[in-house]
Amino acid sequence: MVVDNASDDRTVELIRSHSYSVKLIVNEFNNGFAGGQNQAIVQSENADYILTLNADVALEPDYISRLVAVMEESPSIGSATGCLRLADAPDRMDSAGIAVNWARRAWDRGAGEPVSNYTSADDVFGVSGAAGLYNRRMIDSISIDGQFFDEDFFAYKEDVDVAWRAALLGWRSRYEPLAQAMHVRQWQSSAGRKRMLLIIRRHSYINRYLMLIKNGRLNGRRWLMLPSFVIYEAALTAYFLIKDPRVLGSWITMRRLIPNAFRKRLIF
């Protein structure tokens, strides 16, 4: 299943000129990562597993079969990922799943580290949407308004949102290092992130708070972390005010999306 999100290259022409055994969906406008993936998921309703795959990821031939085998071992595993390595530095990690810290900041586990540090299978917070395998039962159980990936996110952190929502409902995520893939990562370094388009930086900023509204829970020890969390958020805002104030213009858009985020929170 190939979803072309109104690309301006020769993707559609190349696919149509070959006898690939794929279903091609051509969008007249960019529906975002979330919207494009949801289109394909709906069209694949009879599949037991769904692999979301970025156009800049190359899989080893046994990537999918290894992850399916892992997920078949336990009905509680809702998603799985392999060892995603950097295409321009194959001995370095791109992602070994998603990790989060106490402040609910998410990142690709192992990014930039030696691949040799991630040779053991393990449970993880979630999987990167770049090459993540999802169980259909989990997709059905956590979808809201028929959307697996929240289309209010458009792009960035939508896979973290899915992982968080799945964890709240008891689903596990698994990292399997024997499943290998290469990823061309454009924004791996801090210098690269500084070159991101403003719209990308704004999406990333907005989506952090949509995630917190939808999924954040103050229970148990988290109440004790609240003062530290408030200080962290104040420092983060100060950083943007000084270093990147245009990102804060996204609050105009966020005001429109917040009520819907609160509505979705009540569903779970």
Examine the pLDDT at 190 and tell me if it is beyond 50.
no
Residue 260 burial by CB count (10 A; 0-12/13-18/19+): exposed, middle or buried? Answer: middle
**Cβ neighbours around 221 below 10 Å, total:** 8
Report how far residue 220's alpha carbon sits from residue 7's, in angstroms, rounded to the nearest whole number. Answer: 47
Predicted confidence (pLDDT) per residue in 222-253, tens digit: 888 889 999 999 999 999 999 999 999 999 99
On average, the pLDDT of the chain sits at 93
At CA 129, angle to CA 126 and CA 132, rounded to 5? 70
Region 46-183: CATH code: 3.90.550.10
At 101-138, the pLDDT tens digits run 999 999 999 999 999 999 999 999 999 999 999 999 99
Q: What is the pLDDT of residues 21-62, one digit of tens each?
A: 889 999 999 999 999 999 999 999 889 999 999 999 999 999
Task: Give the start-to-end residue ranges of the domains of the chain.
Answer: 46-183, 190-267
Q: What is the pLDDT of residues 132-161, one digit of tens each?
A: 999 999 999 999 999 999 999 998 999 999
**Predicted model pTM:** 0.92
Instruction: Tell me the C-alpha distance between 74 and 265, whole Å.
Output: 28
